[in-house]
Amino acid sequence: MCLGIPGKVIETYQENDLLMAKVDFGGVRKRVCLAYVPDAVVGEYVIVHVGFALQKLDEAEAQRVFAFLAAADSLDELQVPSP
């Protein structure tokens, strides 16, 4: 139920005094309310739940776990670093 799906902001517009966006989810486009992430701009990714964007996705943070795994590769398995 707390399903949150990442999607890319395609365009923004106003509707009934609310900031809205057209958001692309891997080819499927939906109308999404942007009132809680008003600084999201076209091209950025937001996490969407029941038609509302809740947060912008942070690209640098998104890479963190993979950087950790890459670092782990170069170390003894029993001494893997902290994520």
Partner 1 sequence: MKYVDEYRDGPAARKLVDAIAAAATRPWTIMEVCGGQTHAIVRYGLDRMLPATIELVHGPGCPVCVTALEAIDKAHTLAARPDVIFCSFGDMLRVPGSQGDLLQLKAQGADVRVVYSPLDAVHLAAAHPQRQVIFFAIGFETTAPANAMAVAQAQRRGLTNFSVLVSHVLVPPAIAAILGSPDNRVQGFLGPGHVCTVMGTNEYEALARSFGVPIVIAGFEPVDMLEGILRVVRQLEAGRAEVENAYSRAVRPEGSPPAKALIDSVFEVCDRPWRGIGTIPQSGYRLRETYRDYDAERRFDLGHLHTEESSLCISGAILRGLKKPHECPAFGKQCTPQNPLGATMVSSEGACAAYALYGRHLEVSSPNALLRR
Candidates 14, 26, 43, 74; binder of partner 1 (CB under 8 A) is: 26
Nearer to partner 1, 11 or 59 (CB): 59
Binding flag, residue 74, partner 1 (CB under 8 A): no
Q: Least distance to partner 1 from the beta carbon of 65, Å?
A: 5
Contact 23, 32 (CB under 8 A): yes
From 14, 57, 64, 6, select the one nearest 34 (Cα to Cα). 14
Candidates 14, 17, 43, 74; binder of partner 1 (CB under 8 A) is: 17
Q: Report the alpha-carbon distance of residue 65 to residue 79 in Å, rounded.
A: 16
